[in-house]
Amino acid sequence: MSLKVLKKSAVQNLPAGSRALPDHSTVPLARAYHTSKNALYPQFTDSTTKKTGARAGLHIAKRRSPGILFFFVNRSTLKYTVPKITTARTYTMWKACHVKAYRTVFIVMALLLTDGPLLSGAPLPEQVENTLGMQFVLVPAGEFLMGSDEDPESLAKAYPQYERRRFLILEDEAPVHRVRITRPFYLGRFEVTVGQFRKFLALSGYVPESVADQTGGYGYNRDYDSAKSRRGDAFEGRDPKYSWSNPGFAQSDDEPVVNVTWHDAQAMAAWLSRTEGATYRLPTEAEWEYACRAGTRTRYASGDDPATLLKAANVFDADCMQNWLKWKQFALAGRDGFAFTAPVGSFAPNAWGLHDMHGNVWEWCADWHSDTYYAESPVDDPQGPAAGTVRVRRGGSWHTWPFYARSAYRNWNKPDTRYTLVGMRLVREAR
Q: Is residue 358 domain-shared with residue 383, that is, in the same domain? A: yes
Q: Is residue 145 domain-shared with residue 279, that is, in the same domain? A: yes
* Rounded Cα–Cα distance for residues 267 and 197 (Å): 11
- Contact status, residue 225 vs residue 236, Cβ threshold 8 Å: no
Q: Write the Ramachandran bin of 259: left for phi over 0, alpha for psi from -120 to 50, otherwise beta.
A: left
Would you state the pLDDT for residue 110?
35
At residue 305, φ and ψ (nearest 5 deg) are -80, 125
Structure pTM?
Answer: 0.74
Would you state the pLDDT for residue 228?
84
Q: Is residue 1 domain-shared with residue 134, that is, in the same domain? A: no
Would you state the pLDDT for residue 26?
29
Q: Is residue 72 domain-shared with residue 138, that is, in the same domain? A: no
Q: Is residue 77 domain-shared with residue 146, that is, in the same domain? A: no
* Rounded Cα–Cα distance for residues 272 and 294 (Å): 26
SS3 category, 407: coil
Q: Is residue 133 domain-shared with residue 115, that is, in the same domain? A: no
SS3 category, 291: helix
Amino acid identity, position 214: Q
* Rounded Cα–Cα distance for residues 81 and 70 (Å): 6
How many C-beta neighbours within 10 Å does residue 360 have?
Answer: 33
Q: Is residue 106 domain-shared with residue 155, that is, in the same domain? A: no
Helices H, strands E: what count in the chain? 9, 19
Would you state the pLDDT for residue 71?
35
Would you state the pLDDT for residue 122?
77
Q: Is residue 195 domain-shared with residue 279, that is, in the same domain? A: yes
- Which of 314, 302, 368 has its CA nearest to residue 341? 314
Would you state the pLDDT for residue 227?
86
CA 366 to chain centre: 9
Q: How many residues does the chain have?
A: 431
Q: Is residue 133 domain-shared with residue 111, that is, in the same domain? A: no
Would you state the pLDDT for residue 20?
30
Would you state the pLDDT for residue 230?
82
Q: Is residue 289 domain-shared with residue 396, that is, in the same domain? A: yes
Count of domains observed in the chain: 2
SS3 category, 290: helix
Would you state the pLDDT for residue 84?
41
Query: For the chain, which ranges sit under pLDDT 50?
Result: 1-120
Would you state the pLDDT for residue 11?
31
At residue 138, φ and ψ (nearest 5 deg) are -75, 120
* Rounded Cα–Cα distance for residues 191 and 345 (Å): 9
At residue 146, φ and ψ (nearest 5 deg) are -100, 140
Would you state the pLDDT for residue 23?
31
Amino acid identity, position 405: A
* Domain of residue 225, CATH code: 3.90.1580.10
**Strand spans (E) along 251-306:** 280-281
* Rounded Cα–Cα distance for residues 15 and 367 (Å): 49
- Domain stop point among 74, 96, 119: 119
Q: Which positions ≥6 away from 361 have C-beta within 8 Å?
A: 191, 256, 258, 341, 395, 397, 398, 421, 422, 423, 424
Rg of the Cα atoms in the chain: 27
**Strand spans (E) along 77-129:** 78-81, 106-112, 127-129
- Domain stop point among 119, 154, 182: 119
Q: Is residue 99 domain-shared with residue 62, that is, in the same domain? A: yes
SS3 category, 306: helix
| Angle, in degrees to the nearest 10, between helices 194-204 and 262-276 | 60
* Rounded Cα–Cα distance for residues 48 and 61 (Å): 12
- Contact status, residue 41 vs residue 107, Cβ threshold 8 Å: no
How many C-beta neighbours within 10 Å does residue 321 have?
Answer: 20
Would you state the pLDDT for residue 8?
30
Burial class (CB in 10 A: 0-12, 13-18, 19+), 349: middle
The vertex-50 CA angle with 62 and 67, nearest 5°, equals 35
Would you state the pLDDT for residue 316?
98
* Rounded Cα–Cα distance for residues 113 and 117 (Å): 8
- Which of 12, 398, 32, 382 has its CA nearest to residue 220? 398
- Which of 42, 314, 345 has its CA nearest to residue 188? 345
Cα dihedral 330, 333, 334, 336 in deg (nearest 10): -20
Would you state the pLDDT for residue 313?
98
* Rounded Cα–Cα distance for residues 417 and 76 (Å): 61
At residue 6, φ and ψ (nearest 5 deg) are -130, 145
- Contact status, residue 290 vs residue 381, Cβ threshold 8 Å: no
* Rounded Cα–Cα distance for residues 367 and 384 (Å): 5
Q: Is residue 73 domain-shared with residue 174, that is, in the same domain? A: no
List the domain range (segments joined by +) for residue 342.
127-429
- Domain stop point among 93, 119, 145: 119
